[in-house]
Amino acid sequence: MRLSWRRSSRTEDRFETWITQQHQRRVLAGGTTPSGPCPDEGFIQNLARKSKNIALSDPRIDHAANCPKCMSRLLELRRKSRSSRQRAALAMAIAACALIAAAVVAIRYGIDRNASTTNTAVVAQTVNLWDSGTVRGEQPGQLESVSLPAALVRVTIVLPRHSAPGQYLVAVTRDQNGNGLVAEATAATVANGEQQEITTGLDLRKAAAGPYFLSTTHEQDQAAYYYPLQVK
């Protein structure tokens, strides 16, 4: 029964729309005789906006409904009104999409920024080689392994006893022949009592966990000293 009522209502709506369109065509074609003078522009505009302040008994409504000039103006104003509403709706939809896009970008930026901040956080590490033996070039020897994280490292290296002051090249390589360079940097020594220390940054973020070699090379000595390194 409810479905039948809906169909009936739609049929009546179509019928009323058809009658209205037929009447409008008849009026615009000059097939009616309006009574009284044409109302002013303000009244036509209010009528186009379907103002509730206009009483249906107002004789100006009867005139406008039967006058070709007033009907033409009334239909024109209603078309403009519909167009304005459509533009406003479109503008609101675009604004809503822009806000959603901005929110998505802001969220994505926040996620990327947090990830970037996490990924670029500098980790301070100290490597104490004061009592460590060294291997120069490919010479064999039992060395104590040191470790560094797979991160952006601010490393302070305490050089072995009797190390000369000056500028050092610090490198992380796959082997003790200098092959498979992972990171390198230069730094000058700073005296700390009897010890010589160098502090520099090493980017190990792309280094896979596993064994490497940490080497130091003095500016006046082209031979590197290698120390077993574990990247974790």
For 98-140, the pLDDT digits (tens) are: 888 888 887 877 666 655 545 578 899 999 998 875 444 444 3
Greater confidence, 185 or 3? 185
Say how many domains are in the chain. Answer: 2
Of 37-51, 104-118, 173-187, minimum mean pLDDT range: 104-118
Greater confidence, 42 or 4? 42
Is the same domain home to 200 and 141? yes
pLDDT, residue 140, reads: 38
Q: How far apart are the first and last CA of the chain?
A: 75
- In 3D, which of 180, 175, 185 has the Cα closest to residue 154? 185
pTM: predicted TM-score of the whole model, two decimal places? 0.47
- In 3D, which of 215, 199, 209, 216 has the Cα closest to residue 231? 209
Q: Is residue 94 part of a domain?
A: no
Is the same domain home to 160 and 223? yes
Q: Which domain holds residue 77?
A: 32-87
Query: Is residue 5 predicted with pLDDT exceeding 90?
Result: no
CATH value at residue 132: 2.60.40
Per residue in 138-165, pLDDT tens? 443 445 678 999 999 999 999 998 889 9
Q: Is residue 221 part of a domain?
A: yes
pLDDT, residue 155, reads: 94
Is the same domain home to 126 and 82? no
Is the same domain home to 144 and 213? yes
Q: Is residue 92 part of a domain?
A: no
Is the same domain home to 227 and 167? yes
Q: Is residue 21 part of a domain?
A: no
